[in-house]
Structure 1
Amino acid sequence: MQALLAQWTEWGAELARLPFSAALRGSAWAYPAVEIVHLAGMALLFGSIVVVDMRLAGLGRQLPVTLLLRHALPFSVAAFVAVVGSGALLFLAHADELAGNRAFLVKLCLIALALANVVWFHTGPYRSLRDAQRGWDVGTAPPAGARISAIVSLVVWSLVICAGRLIAYV
């Protein structure tokens, strides 16, 4: 594990030496603009996830799940793409520092866990929603698997935000 971490840190140092990375760090506008995209994307991602997860957890039963998902998922996907793209640029600018940052590494692990939860939801509980005649209609509680996935999602994405904020202090 130590050898892997050392290789990862060395790779981060190489990335930070790239001319593009130095230009991003040195620009008065580029790095702050990328950071704004990252924060705005995270706000949209988390906001859309919270709305859906609260319904899946059993709240807001007056909203039809299928309609809510149809409207929220495109926003979640677009925001995730913006967050990943801007996050990659932010990493490039400071790869030498971030590669060994424990909070950053925890954040990456939490994102992987959150994505695994998304895959599990879409291949499990969500499939039953798509296959059902009427879906999870107004007034209906989603199945236990969907509720558990929603709670896991809320907790893990909240921890992603916390880990991201802790990067500056660890």
Structure 2
Amino acid sequence: MVFLSMTEPILKHVCQVFYDSHFGTAIRESDNSFSIIESVHVLAITLLVGTISILDLRMLGLVLCEIPVTRIARAVFPFTWAGFGVMFVSGFLLFWAEAAKNYVNPAFRVKVILLLLVGLNPLLFHTSVYRRVTEWEHEHRSPWRARAAALASLTLWSGVIVAGRAIAYF
């Protein structure tokens, strides 16, 4: 707790610097920049979450059950990473434009926490159950740990999207 209380003024100051910068002000006050960046951000999230959902739903045994998990993963991962890259850059630009407001926004804080958790989920998945994917990838139902990771992924990404939309209302 002491660490958080010590870093909070620093984070608040950094957010204010971003907010007050010429670049942040230009995005925020432009007639079109913010809405274009936000639209790109939403489309990138759609690509990212859409491709992840295909793999998650396959691991839950709900779609494409005849296709091996690794084949689906190889097909969607390039699109997943492209969506992630564009989502990250556009999200950072949106944050830059409204950093001081986002700092105190509870929905933004929830979104950041959910993004950390949603990033941890595939890390744990790929370093554990996915290492043995050749043993179960042809099964209609994946092992319970793979299904749990898929369910966590779908739930966390849904939370990220809801919290992201809620930012505008706080």
Fold agreement, TM-score > 0.5: yes
Residue identity in the other structure for 1:50: S
**8 Å contact kept, 2:136–2:143:** no
Match of 2:129 in 1: 125
Q: Distance in 2 between matches of 1:73 and 1:127?
A: 17
Aligned length: 166
Match of 2:106 in 1: 102
Could you report, residue by residue, the CA deviation over 1:35-80 in whole angstroms, capped at 9, with x for unpaired residues?
1110000111111111110111122212221111111111111101
For structure 2, the 5+ residue unaligned runs are none
Match of 1:64 in 2: 68
Percent of paired sites with the same residue: 36
Match of 1:26 in 2: 29
Could you report, residue by residue, the CA deviation over 1:92-147 in whole angstroms, capped at 9, with x for unpaired residues?
00111011111101101100000100101111122111xx3x6512x532122111
**8 Å contact kept, 1:66–1:135:** no
**8 Å contact kept, 2:27–2:33:** yes
**8 Å contact kept, 2:15–2:99:** yes
Which secondary structure state, in structure 2, belongs to the residue aligned with residue 41 of structure 1?
helix
Q: Distance in 2 between matches of 1:135 and 1:144?
A: 11
Match of 2:153 in 1: 153
- In the alignment, does 2:137 pair up with 1:136? yes
1:115 pairs with one of 119, 131, 150:
119
Q: CA deviation at 1:3?
A: 4.6
Match of 1:42 in 2: 45
Change (3 A) 1:164 1:108: same
Using the size of structure 1 for normalisation, the TM-score is 0.91
For structure 1, the 5+ residue unaligned runs are none
2:58 pairs with one of 46, 55, 58:
55
Q: Distance in 1 between matches of 2:155 and 2:96?
A: 28
Using the size of structure 2 for normalisation, the TM-score is 0.91
Q: Which moved more, 1:75-84 or 1:4-13?
A: 4-13
Q: Distance in 2 between matches of 1:152 and 1:107?
A: 15
Match of 2:95 in 1: 91
